[in-house]
Amino acid sequence: MKMFGAIEAGGTKFVCAVGDENFNIIDRISFPTTYPGETMERIFDFFDRYKDLKAIGIGSFGPIDINIHSEKYGYITSTPKTNWRNFNFLGEMKKHYNLPIGWTTDVNAACLGEYEIGSAVDNHSCLYLTVGTGIGGGAILDGKIIEGFGHTEMGHIIIRNHPHDDFEGVCPYHKNCLEGLAAGPSIEKRYGIKAENLDEDHRIWRIVAYYLAQALVNYTLILRPEKIILGGGVMNQAGMIDFVREAFASLLAGYVETPDLDSYIVTPSLGDNAGIIGGLILARRAL
């Protein structure tokens, strides 16, 4: 039985795991994201105990450099987390482990997990979007992660304000892009309390659903994925996925065919494990 390592490197916490070739998780650890030196020590402490790992897969918060021809391939680049800016994450891992190491974004890794053994297991293409303190997405087509000059940044697309929401947005780059209007911090900024403390029937949830639906319409028209998987804290809100489906149908106006919306716009079937399982898959692919 081959053993693989996986790292889900998030902006607030890291998860490291070891799993077998069927992606059963055998051991895992989780710790807060502090600064690179300390974090790398914890990673090494964990994986050093497994001498028979065949490969490791990393899904990292970003932006990261994924261009193998770039001098900064494997770096975390222009993140607002200044400790981590220009940190050669993959390089540090390779110095310590003489193993094949897969490298992509956290959302691409989660997308890969859902694609291979999750909600999109029967599909040839899918898109994964997480909606929480930020919004990020990844897409896979015929097994291949969609990326070109760099990785995708689907959370920052331009959308239009809801007719009853003139909020200016919180994105430091774009103000009222998708993330600036629909991620958790935008909700908190509007009302001065955390999103999860707002009533279930608060008007904001329909507004957020309208923003997400706009994004999904654009993803649909630009990529035509067979499935869209919505994760993250905001999607835990009661009824949210139905609100998104309703707004999506209204906005797309039947222009292109999609699968039935109940099977097209879905939640992750791997739950919080999508990213770490995606890391194991990435490891196997690296091998």
Work out how close the CB of 191 gets to a copy of itself at its nearest, in angstroms, rounded to a whole number.
24
The mark string for 224-243 relative to a copy of itself (x by CB under 8 A, - otherwise) is: xxx-----------------
Please tell me whether the peptide bond between 259 and the residue prior to it is cis, using omega within 30 degrees of 0: no
Interaction between residue 267 and a copy of itself (CB under 8 A)? no
Tell me whether residue 130 or residue 152 sits nearer to a copy of itself (CB atom).
152
Residue 95 binds a copy of itself, judged by CB under 8 A? no
Separation of alpha carbons 68 and 6, rounded Å: 20
The tokens for 65 are: 């450099």
Interface with a copy of itself in residues 164-183 (CB under 8 A): 173-174
**Helical (H) or strand (E) element with 281:** helix 274-286
What is the CB neighbour count within 10 angstroms for residue 191? Answer: 12
Task: Report in angstroms how near the CB of residue 218 gets to a copy of itself at its nearest.
Answer: 5
3-state secondary structure of 202: coil
Is residue 251 a contact residue for a copy of itself (CB under 8 A)? yes
Could you report how far apart the first and last alpha carbons of the chain are, in Å?
14
Half-sphere exposure of 12 (CA within 13 A, CB side): 3
| Shortest Å distance, C-beta 251 to a copy of itself | 7
Segment interacting with a copy of itself (CB under 8 A) among 21-29, 94-102, 157-165, 184-192: 157-165
Let me know: does 33 contact 76? Beta carbons within 8 Å.
no
Q: Which of 12, 48, 238, 255 binds a copy of itself (CB under 8 A)?
A: 255
What part of residues 2-61 is at the interface with a copy of itself (CB under 8 A)? none
* Amino acid residing at 276: I
Asked whether position 219 contacts a copy of itself by CB under 8 A, the answer is yes
Q: Please work out the total of residues on this chain that contact a copy of itself, with binding judged by CB under 8 A.
A: 43
Secondary-structure percent of the chain, ordered helix, strand, coil, rounded to 5: 40, 25, 40
Instruction: Compute and round to an integer the Cα radius of gyration of the chain.
Output: 19
Among the residue ranges 33-41, 136-144, 231-239, 272-280, the one whose residues contact a copy of itself (CB under 8 A):
136-144
Residues that bind a copy of itself (CB under 8 A): 63, 124-125, 137, 139, 141-142, 144, 146-154, 156-161, 173-174, 214, 217-219, 221-226, 251, 253-259
